[in-house]
């Protein structure tokens, strides 16, 4: 049995660049180009690899991939230390582009919708998941066009049959369908994703009330609501815990949510209490915004920020549960 299975149905090749200033119609010479593999579940797996060091269970990565860009994706993923399960699709893996404007500190992100997939291609993924029992099953990111809105709900049922804790980071119709199904262990929405779910704007109190209602109705056991500069809130049957944001220099917001999820699931898989896992996730999200472009959180930054957060809350942690911590 794997510790964690990470699922990406709409992966990306992520290109990041820097330019002094973005000017319409002009040819702009970019620099510091970086290419990474991306998509929610892949990013979560990258965070797990960053954190686990030389010890700890390996992650299984399940991904739909196709076309020439899919070959590049597969080559990059094959070089990483996790168990890779690539399911074929006819369409091409999308290419996302991020441009950082150094004069203003603004970040421009261009993310294509991605290919259209067939029901047969999605069914292949679900069949593969049936044969991958795990303690945690993480579905993160958008659904590709053509995938039925209940795809994540179907994965939730597979997780339940396998006795796995189902972790979801999604939005829109796919999220609504999964919540209607229930059976979610951990759901990590941002405030804007929760607003989209209910169809109107929310202040923090109203958002917490929505999350508490979802927990009370059995739609999710745990909700980690991220609030950007206002920190994050943990909601479960025992109540609510709010933590302030960890103040760090902001370089790029790419992958902050996936870093939060990856670190929180990592901590839970190591037997840590929910509150500490939540704090560890918050530290990883903060560490992610410190890195440029499509780079994600770095282990040393996560541990330093987490240690400081523990001291600030009067709950010191020796971090002996993290290899080499």
What is the C-alpha to C-alpha distance for residues 242 and 192, in angstroms, rounded to an integer?
Answer: 18
DSSP string, 204-228: HHHHHHHHHHHHHTTSEEEEEEE-G
Q: From residue 183, give the alpha-carbon distance in Å to each of 106, 155, 222.
A: 39, 10, 11
Catalytic residue list contains 258: yes
Q: From residue 3, give the alpha-carbon distance in Å to each of 40, 136, 148.
A: 18, 6, 28
Beta strands in the chain (DSSP E): 2-8, 12-19, 31-38, 59-65, 83-88, 94-101, 106-110, 134-140, 165-169, 184-187, 220-226, 232-236, 239-243
Give buried/exposed letters for 276-294 (b at 16+ CB in 10 A, else e): bbbbbbbbbbbbbbbbebb
Q: Which of 3, 14, 169, 258 is catalytic?
A: 258
What is the C-alpha to C-alpha distance for residues 218 and 182, in angstroms, rounded to an integer?
Answer: 6
Cβ atoms of 199 and 169 within 8 Å: the answer is no
Q: From residue 47, give the alpha-carbon distance in Å to each of 60, 176, 202, 248, 265.
A: 13, 26, 30, 19, 10
Cβ atoms of 250 and 106 within 8 Å: the answer is no
Point out the residues that are catalytic. 258
């Amino acid at each position: 049995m794997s510790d964690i299975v990470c699922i990406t149905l709409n992966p990306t090749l992520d290109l990041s660049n820097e330019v002094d200033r973005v000017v319409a119609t002009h040819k702009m010479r970019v620099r510091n180009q970086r290419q990474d593999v991306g998509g929610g579940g892949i990013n979560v797996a990258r965070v797990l690899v960053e954190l686990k060091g030389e010890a700890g269970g390996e992650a299984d990565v399940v991904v739909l991939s196709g076309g020439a860009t899919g070959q590049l994706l597969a080559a990059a993923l094959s070089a990483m230390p996790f168990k890779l399960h690539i399911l074929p699709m006819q369409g091409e893996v999308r290419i996302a582009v991020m441009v950082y404007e150094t004069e203003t500190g603004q970040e421009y992100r261009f993310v294509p919708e991605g290919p259209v997939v067939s029901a047969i291609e999605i069914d292949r993924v679900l069949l593969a998941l049936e044969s991958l029992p795990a303690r945690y099953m993480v579905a993160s990111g958008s659904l590709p066009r053509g995938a039925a809105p209940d795809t994540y709900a179907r994965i939730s049922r597979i997780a339940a049959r396998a006795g796995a804790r189902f972790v979801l980071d999604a939005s829109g119709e796919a999220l609504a369908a999964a919540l209607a199904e229930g059976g979610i262990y951990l759901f990590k929405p941002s405030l804007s994703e929760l607003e989209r779910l209910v169809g109107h704007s929310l202040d923090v109190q109203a958002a917490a009330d929505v999350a508490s209602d979802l927990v009370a109705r059995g739609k999710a056991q745990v909700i980690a609501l991220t609030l950007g500069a206002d920190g994050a809130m943990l909601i479960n049957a025992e109540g609510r815990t709010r933590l302030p944001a960890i103040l760090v220099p902001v370089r790029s917001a790419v992958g902050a949510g996936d870093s939060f999820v990856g670190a929180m699931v990592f901590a839970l898989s190591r037997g840590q209490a929910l509150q500490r896992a939540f704090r560890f996730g918050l530290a990883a999200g903060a560490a992610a915004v410190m890195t440029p472009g499509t780079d994600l959180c770095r282990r040393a930054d996560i541990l330093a920020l987490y240690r400081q957060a523990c001291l600030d809350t009067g709950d010191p942690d020796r971090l002996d549960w993290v290899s080499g911590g």
